[in-house]
Amino acid sequence: MIKVQNVFKSFDSVGVLDDISFEFEQGKNNLIIGQSGSGKTVLLKSIVGLFEIDKGDILYDGASFSSMNLHQRRDIRKEIGMLFQGSALFDWATVEENVRFPLDMFTDMSDKEKSDRVNFCLERVNIEKAHKLLPSEISGGMQKRVAIARAISMKPKYLFCDEPNSGLDPKTSIVIDNLISSITKELNITTIINTHDMNTVTEFGDKILFIANGKKCWEGSKKTIFNSDNDELNQFVFASSVYQKFREQKHSDEK
Amino acid sequence: MIRYFYTSGEYFIFLAKVFSFNNKAKTFYSRLIDEIYALGIQSIGIVTVISAFIGAVITIQTAYNMENPILPDYLVGLATRDSLLLEFSSTIVALILAGKVGSNIASEVGTMRVTEQIDALEIMGVNSASFLVLPKIAAMVIFNPFLAVISMIVGISGGMCVAYLTDIMSFADYVNGIQYAFVPFYVTYSLIKTLFFGFIIASIPAFFGYNVKGGSLEVGRASTKAVVASVILILFVNLILTKIFLS
Which residues make Cβ contacts (< 8 Å) with residue A232, sequence separation at least 6? A210, A212, A217, A218
C-alpha angle B124-B125-B127 in degrees, rounded to nearest 5: 120
pLDDT digits over B122-140, tens only? 998 889 999 999 999 999 9
Least CB–CB distance from A84: residue in B111, B120, B125: B120
- CA distance, residue A132 to nearest chain B CA (Å): 18
What is residue A254's predicted lDDT score, i.e. its pLDDT? 66
Q: How many helices (H) and strands (E) does chain B have?
A: 10, 0
DSSP B132-169: HHHHHHHHHHHHHHHHHHHHHHHHHHHHHHHHHHSSSS
Mean pLDDT of B170-187: 93
Domain range annotation of chain A: 2-79+156-254, 91-155
Q: What are phi and psi of A63, to 5 degrees?
A: -90, 130
- CA distance, residue B138 to nearest chain A CA (Å): 19
Q: Which class is domain A2-79+156-254?
A: alpha beta
What is residue A37's predicted lDDT score, i.e. its pLDDT? 86
What is residue A251's predicted lDDT score, i.e. its pLDDT? 67
Q: Does B24 touch chain A (CB under 8 A)?
A: yes
Mean pLDDT of B104-118: 95
- A199, A234 Cβ separation under 8 angstroms: no
What is residue B198's predicted lDDT score, i.e. its pLDDT? 97
Least CB–CB distance from A77: residue in B27, B115, B123: B123
In terms of Cβ atoms closer than 10 Å to its own Cβ (0-12, 13-18, 19+), residue B6 is exposed
Q: Select the more confidently predicted residue: B144 or B3.
A: B144
What is residue A222's predicted lDDT score, i.e. its pLDDT? 87
CB contact under 8 A, B119 and A89: no
Which ranges of chain A would DSSP assign to H, the alpha helix?
40-47, 70-77, 95-106, 111-124, 140-152, 170-187, 198-204, 231-237, 241-254
What is residue A191's predicted lDDT score, i.e. its pLDDT? 93
- A43, A211 Cβ separation under 8 angstroms: yes
- A81, A152 Cβ separation under 8 angstroms: yes
Q: Does A239 touch chain B (CB under 8 A)?
A: no
- CA distance, residue B107 to nearest chain A CA (Å): 13
- A189, A28 Cβ separation under 8 angstroms: no
CA distance B203 to B17: 12
Least CB–CB distance from A77: residue in B112, B116, B125: B125
Least reliable range by pLDDT among A11-15, B1-5, B90-94, B154-158: B1-5
In eight-state DSSP terms, residue A25 is P
CA distance A197 to A166: 9
Percent of chain B having pLDDT more than 70? 100
- B229, B239 Cβ separation under 8 angstroms: no
Q: Which residues on chain B are in Cβ contact (under 8 Å) with A78?
A: 124-125
pLDDT tens per residue, chain A (255 residues)? Answer: 899 999 999 998 899 999 999 999 998 999 999 988 889 999 999 999 889 999 999 999 989 988 888 888 888 888 899 999 888 999 999 999 999 999 998 888 999 999 999 999 999 888 888 999 999 999 988 999 999 999 999 999 999 999 888 888 888 888 888 889 988 998 899 999 999 888 888 888 899 999 999 999 999 988 888 888 888 888 888 877 777 776 677 667 766
CA distance A163 to B223: 30
Under DSSP, is residue B65 helix (H, G, I), strand (E, B) or coil?
helix
- A17, A209 Cβ separation under 8 angstroms: no
Q: Which residues on chain A are in Cβ contact (under 8 Å) with B22?
A: 74
Q: Does A106 touch chain B (CB under 8 A)?
A: yes
CA distance B102 to B17: 20
Most confident option among A185-189, B14-18, B22-26: B14-18
- A247, A254 Cβ separation under 8 angstroms: no
Domain range annotation of chain B: 2-246
CA A82 to chain centre: 7
What is residue B202's predicted lDDT score, i.e. its pLDDT? 97
pLDDT digits over B61-106, tens only? 999 988 888 888 899 999 999 999 999 999 999 999 999 999 999 9
Least CB–CB distance from B115: residue in A45, A86, A104: A86
Whole-number CA gyration radius for chain B: 21
Least CB–CB distance from A88: residue in B117, B125, B127: B117
pTM of this structure: 0.88
Helix B25-35 with B128-165: angle, nearest 10 deg: 30
Q: CA-nearest residue of chain A to B123?
A: A77
Under DSSP, is residue A195 helix (H, G, I), strand (E, B) or coil?
strand
- CA distance, residue B104 to nearest chain A CA (Å): 14
